[in-house]
Amino acid sequence: MTGNNVPLLTFPPGSLGSASLRSAGDAYNEDDDGQASSVKRWYHYLPLCLVIFCLLIPHPSLLHVLIHYHLLVLDSPLQFTIHLLTTYTLTFAAFSSLIVCVARDPGPVPDPKHESGDGEDMTLEDALMAPPPADDYLQPGRWCKICWAPKPERAHHCSACGRCVLKMDHHCPWVGAKCIGHRTYPSFVHLLASVTLLALYIASVNISGLWYAFSNPLSMGEVTPVHMLFLAFMGIVVTMIIGSFFGYHVYLILTNQTTIENISSFHILRHLPPLPPSKLSSPPYEHELSFDQRRLVRAAHRSVRMYDIGWRRNWAQVFAPAHNWRMWLARVLWGGACVGNGQKFPLNPRADEMLARLAEELVKLEQDRG
């Protein structure tokens, strides 16, 4: 033996928790589809540049219409001022929430080693005498096999960002290739609302101007109606696209769902109670289910909403109640912030009953198939 303490085996940093330690085909981690590099290239910001361009491109035409129609033709400084203040207020609101979505972290998952306080290593005696953890990370979907770390409730791993995000809604390339999560979701909804209202307002102003131009063809020049037609068409298209997306997210807020939870029917399998002995695992994996069982799960997914606690409380969970003028100002300017730390959420009181009924029907279908 030599005097140097040379280890027999060495591992490169980050090798633990890699693919060699991950089990393949985990049906409960549908969002954990591989870890990609979190380094962003210049082309990742092209969609964000397109969003900024689309927010700015109507303004030259809009100023032309406001000056040559409302000031010179209608001779109405009041309408000119109202339309100018309204459009630029909505534009400022859209840019403020966009900046928050780009600059703010969507929801960092806390390191469990630093939650206890000093962060020192726990001795064997302390580990044996310690109380059980509040979260059972042995449950399906509560441990990230890519980050190799605990995954809080409703958190998901983003393969594009290479990290877990608290209450992840979706990965959005339009806000700088970042995730929309617990800390940025109110600003994202605020952005959709601001853009929808701005497009609707611009469209309504220019449609009324086009009506006046057709009724009085000699009252204004040839260029102004072209600008009006461009703004009206663009406003209608943006209102239909972004407005539909905004309406979808209002529905998600009122039912307390994320986009991932809404489109992933088989995520509710991880919440099922223990099944009686059968050929199915407990809880069952997606690939174990027959066609009839899959159809049953999809039908149940439309009614079993795990976190739906009533539309008023659902809304207050996303947009925190404003108790002072600062909170109201934050909500108006960029959407404010969600309630809580993004790790624990109240459950639907009827969810256990509906999940138990779903488990019974799945076992019954399995027995009929066998």
Q: What is the pLDDT of residues 163-179, one digit of tens each?
A: 999 999 999 999 999 99
Note the pLDDT tens digit of each residue in 257-287. 999 999 998 988 888 888 877 788 888 888 8
pTM: 0.83
Structure tokens at 291: 């066609």
Give Cα 310 distance to the centre of its chain: 20
Contact criterion met (CB below 8 Å) for 195 and 63:
no
How far apart CA 280 and CA 140 sit, in angstroms, is 15
pLDDT at 327 (0 to 100)? 82
pLDDT at 26 (0 to 100)? 41
Structure tokens at 254: 């009122």
Span 38-47, average pLDDT: 87
3-class secondary-structure state, position 288: helix
- How do the domains of the chain map onto residue ranges? 44-108+137-256
End-to-end CA distance of the chain: 62
Q: Which helix (H) or strand (E) holds 326?
A: helix 325-334
Q: Which residue has the tokens 């807020």?
A: 253
Region of poorest pLDDT, from 191-200, 248-257, 343-352: 343-352
3-class secondary-structure state, position 144: strand
Closest CA to 342 of 123, 162, 179, 176: 179
Residue bearing the bigger pLDDT, 339 or 137: 339
- Angle (nearest 5°) at CA 321 between 319 and 323: 140
Give Cα 176 distance to the centre of its chain: 14
CA-CA distances (angstroms) from residue 340 to 153, 172, 210, 309, 318?
13, 23, 49, 15, 9
